[in-house]
Structure 1
Amino acid sequence: MYTFTLIPLLSLLPATLSAPIFGLPPSTSDDSATGKPTPVSLDTVNSTLVRPALFSRVAYCESATITSWTCGKPCEALSHITFLQSGGDEGAIPLYYIAHDADDQSLVVAHAGTDPVKFLSLLNDAEFELVALNSSRFPEAAGTDIKVHDGFQQTFERTADGLLAGVMKGLASTGVKKVVVTGHSLGAALATMTGAMIKDAVDPSVNVAVTGYGLPRGGNEAWANFLDSKLGLTFVTNQHDPIPIVPPKALGFQHSSGEIHSVDGTQSNFVACPGQDNENCSTGNSLIDFNIVNHLGPYFQDISFGTPECSTGLFG
């Protein structure tokens, strides 16, 4: 199922990632979760997973078209949206934006995924050493063994202060009591850190929900436990996508709980995967027989990420 030549992202991945990451088999450690997945209804998918995915899709469009909410099909799929703020340079500092969703009465923070046209973004993914979580930003991490992906943390820190200031300003101006943080791929990894940061900063009455798509592993078991206790993260994996199983468990990385797995290409067969890194879901996928196109989608309702549907986007 290898398919590396369809778009620029796929042709770049082998050169940047194959040697250090794809050369290792998935872990089969005894402590992996092996609970039986349970079916997730389409009603649940449509009511909880679709809308964050639509916001994540918008993040792949050009910044100027997000600011004016004229990014083509991705923007047209969402109504009653007020753009509030954006940041990043769509390269080494991936784009994020903040918007007010009047229909959901929420503030939305969406991180862009890896830009396949600009090589600097791919380097962020390649820096996969585990390093201590920044305890100056997350005081509860002081004295613990919480470690995260070095490249993800560096990228997160480049926009964290401005993003948090924008969220606090948006909460004050709109009066909403809900923040939705979302993203695809690298954007999903950044969303986990952003969600944890916002959760620490806002009043406990504010609900912070994090939903990611095609999420790579972002830290060690202590990080996974931290996310479980703080956020109750939800992330969606798609069929034989290899990105959710990198960096490998053999290097000390582990997913949190909260995986929803799309089993096949029908866009209607989803299961909830109990525990962390459940071998019956994406963790059981092979790094020898995989389909990178599954990383882009479609996930459900024909929603794919990084597509040319934007009026101007990462693919031109």
Structure 2
Amino acid sequence: MFTFISLLSLLPAALSAPIFGLGPSTSDDSATGTPTPVSLATVNSTLLRPAQFSRVAYCSSASITSWSCGAPCDALKNITFLQSGGDEGLIPLYYIAHDADEQTLVVAHEGTDPFKFFSLLNDAELALTPLNSSRFPEAANTDIQVHDGFQETFERTADGLLAGVKAGLASTGVTKVAVTGHSLGAALASMTGAMIKDAVDPSIDVSVVTFGLPRGGNEAWANFLDSKLGLTFVTNQHDPIPIVPPKALGFQHSSGEIHIVDDTQQNLVACPGQDNVNCATGNSVIDFDIINHLGPYFDDVTFGSQECAGVLL
């Protein structure tokens, strides 16, 4: 991972090229509302646990199955593993677990780990494509479009994941589903949350909290997420990933951004509107920091397989 980061730090000119989405990220339709502070009590009650579950998704399937992945698993008590899928490469890992303390079914997606080359390829397709209306019927005859590579990756595990969620709801009797993920996993989590919301009884509460989310589709997709989920996504300081792919190619964030202002891990703000220029969208294309993508976010939560037991750095 550190070799990957070092390489990025040597290529600022290349990273600012439009293909990587790091060209100018603002436009006339960016929100300009004033962010408001988020209390640490809110962080601890609503954001910390999803971040901890997202961190676990970077660990090996075997260690998650036995809930023995080291510090990421140790931070979460009274968890029962239910199902996993993917191959931790071309098909990123996901897992489903029962959180007995919160009486919630948790779905967490693995993110783009620089150690795993094939997972990086999923990010390379920047084209917008219509949202699959056979899975999302309300998308039929609309202009909702999503990132082609994200949708293809999502579809590789969607059926098995949804079957696992329905089985988990039936076996545990819980009425809440919490979906989370970091980086690529955040993009997949937004689609997964929308799919689950469509497929389960309306009485089931489905929430989605993500970290380091790239833009996943066009403005119609952003509006769709706003109306269906009320997605929450956390961005960290000068992380460049939330401004990829670029708005210039038609991509747009939904509402719901919470931005970490500095490295104290204590100053967070809620950013009104879509793509607020006072938060991640306003980041400089020169003064970015890829390490901010990994963390720490808050309570020293950092993402990547280096956090897991048995990983040699």
Which category of TM-score, normalised to the shorter sequence, fits these structures? over 0.9
- Supply the distance in 1 between the matched residues of 2:143 and 2:76 (Cα, whole angstroms): 41
Q: Secondary structure at the match of 1:131?
A: strand
Q: Which amino acid aligns with 2:52?
A: L
The residue aligned with 2:146 is 148
In 1, distance between residues paired with 2:75 and 2:21?
40
The reply to whether residue 292 of structure 1 matches residue 285 of structure 2 is no
- What TM-score, normalized to structure 2? 0.95
Moved more, 19-28 or 191-200: 19-28
CA distance in 1: counterparts of 2:39 and 2:247, whole angstroms: 30
Give the gaps of 5 or more residues in structure 1. Answer: none
For residues 251 and 163 of structure 1, do their structure 2 counterparts lie closer, same or farther at Cα, with a shift above 3 Å needed? same
Could you say which residue in structure 2 is the equivalent of 1:117?
115
Question: Cα distance 1:34–1:107, how it changes in 2: closer, same or farther (>3 A)?
Answer: same
Once the two structures are TM-superposed, the CA of residue 20 in structure 1 deviates from its matched residue by 4.5
Q: Deviations over 1:212-263 (max 9, x none)?
A: 0000000000000000000000000000000000100000000000000000
Maintained 8 Å contact 1:26/1:283? no
The residue type equivalent to 1:74 in the other structure is P
Structure 2 residue 11 is the aligned partner of structure 1 residue 11: no
Residue aligning to 1:261: 259
CA deviations over 1:166-205 (Å, ceiling 9, x no partner): 0000000000000000000000000000000000001011
Whole-Å Cα distance in 2 between the matches of residues 260 and 122 of structure 1? 25
Q: What residue identity is the alignment partner of 2:294?
A: L
Report deviation, 1:304. 0.5
Amino acid in structure 2 at the alignment position of 1:6: F
TM alignment of 1:41-80, pairs within 5 A: 41-80=39-78
Match of 1:216 in 2: 214
SS at match of 1:163: helix
Say whether the 8 Å CA contact 1:61–1:312 is kept in structure 2: no
Query: Cα distance, 1:25 vs. partner?
Result: 2.2
In the alignment, the residues of structure 2 paired with residue 12 and residue 38 of structure 1 have an alpha-carbon distance, to the nearest angstrom, of 32
Aligned to 2:230: 232
Question: Aligned partners of 1:23, 1:159: CA distance in 2, in Å?
Answer: 27
Q: How far did 1:23 drift? A: 6.7
Alpha-carbon separation, structure 2, partners of 1:178 and 1:23: 35
Inter-partner Cα distance in structure 1 for 2:285 and 2:158: 33
Q: What is the correspondence of 1:150-229 to structure 2 with a 5 Å cutoff? A: 150-229=148-227
Once the two structures are TM-superposed, the CA of residue 271 in structure 1 deviates from its matched residue by 0.2
Which residue in the other structure is 2:275 paired with?
277
Q: Is the Cα contact below 8 Å between 1:65 and 1:312 reproduced in 2?
A: no
Residue identity (%): 79
Give the root-mean-square deviation of aligned CA atoms.
1.8
Deviations 1:275-305 (A, max 9, x none): 0000000000012210000000000000000
Question: Separation in 1 of the partners of 2:112 and 2:291?
Answer: 14
Instruction: Tell me if structure 2 keeps the 8 A contact 1:62–1:312.
Output: no
Whole-angstrom distance in 2 between the partners of 1:154 and 1:23:
20
Distance 1:151 1:95 in 2: 16
The residue that corresponds to 2:79 in the other structure is: 81
Query: What is the distance in 2 between the residues matched to 1:23 and 1:200?
Result: 31
Aligned amino acid, residue 110 of structure 1: A
Q: Partner amino acid for 1:311?
A: A
Corresponding residue for residue 40 of structure 1: 38
Deviation at residue 28 of structure 1 after TM alignment:
3.0
CA distance in 2, matches of 1:142, 1:108: 29
TM-score by length of 1: 0.94
1: CA distance, partners of 2:48 / 2:22: 33
Q: How many residues align?
A: 311
Letter in 2 for 1:157: E
User: What is the CA distance between 1:119 and its match in structure 2?
Assistant: 1.9
Structure 2: any 5+ residue segments left out of the alignment? none
In structure 2, the CA distance between the partners of 1:218 and 1:112, relative to structure 1 (3 Å rule), is: same
1:8 shift after superposition? 3.1
Inter-partner Cα distance in structure 2 for 1:84 and 1:288:
44
| Cα shift readout 1:107-156 (whole Å, capped 9, x = no counterpart) | 00000001212222111111110000000000000000000000000000
